[in-house]
Amino acid sequence: MPGKSTITVHADREVHPSRAVAPPIYQTAAFSAEDAETFAQGTVAPRGKDFYTRFGNPNLAQVSAVVAELENTEAAMVTASGMAALTTAVLALVSAGDHVIGQRSTYGGTASVLLNLLPRLGVSTTLVDQTDPEAFARALTPQTRLILVETPSNPLLQITDLRAVAELARAHDVLTMADNTFATPLNQQPADFGIDLVWHSATKYLNGHSDVSAGVLAGPAEILDRIWDVGLLTGATLGPIDAWLLLRGMRTLPLRVPRHNANGQALAEALNEHPAVAKVHYPGLATHPQHKLAADQMTGFGGVLGIEFAGGFEMADAFLGRLRYPRRSASLGGVESLAVHPASMWRGMLSEEQLAESVPLGLVRLAAGTEDTADLVADALEAADAVLAEPATAATT
Ligand X SMILES: Cc1ncc(COP(=O)(O)O)c(C=O)c1O
Which positions touch ligand X (CB under 6 A)? 81-83, 107, 109, 150, 154, 179, 181-182, 201, 203, 213, 215
The residue among 169 and 340 lying less far from ligand X, judged by its C-beta, is 340
- DSSP-derived letter for residue 346 is G
The residue among 55 and 182 lying less far from ligand X, judged by its C-beta, is 182
Of 26, 107, 205, 325, catalytic: 107
Of 12, 179, 196, 317, catalytic: 179
Q: What is the C-alpha separation between 301 and 295, in angstroms, rounded?
A: 8
Q: Is 292 tagged catalytic? A: no
The minimum distance between CB 331 and ligand X, in angstroms, equals 7
Of 52, 54, 259, 327, catalytic: 54
Q: Is 179 tagged catalytic? A: yes
CB contact at 8 A, 4 and 70: yes
The residue among 9 and 335 lying less far from ligand X, judged by its C-beta, is 335
Question: How many of the other CB atoms lie within 10 Å of CB of 230?
Answer: 16
**CB-nearest residue to ligand X:** 82
Q: Is 173 tagged catalytic? A: no
The residue among 215 and 311 lying less far from ligand X, judged by its C-beta, is 215
The minimum distance between CB 2 and ligand X, in angstroms, equals 28
Q: Is 385 tagged catalytic? A: no
**Phi-psi sector, 370: left (phi>0), alpha (psi -120 to 50), beta:** alpha
The Cα-based distances of 74 to 92, 224, 345, 372 in angstroms read 19, 10, 37, 37
The residue among 107 and 193 lying less far from ligand X, judged by its C-beta, is 107
The minimum distance between CB 214 and ligand X, in angstroms, equals 7
Of 47, 104, 145, 204, catalytic: 204
The Cα-based distances of 177 to 142, 150, 185, 324 in angstroms read 18, 8, 14, 37
DSSP string, 122-173: T-EEEEE-TT-HHHHHHH--TTEEEEEEESSPTTT-----HHHHHHHHHHTT
Q: What is the C-alpha separation between 317 and 397, in angstroms, rounded?
A: 8
The minimum distance between CB 311 and ligand X, in angstroms, equals 26
By annotation, the residues acting in catalysis are: 54, 107, 179, 204
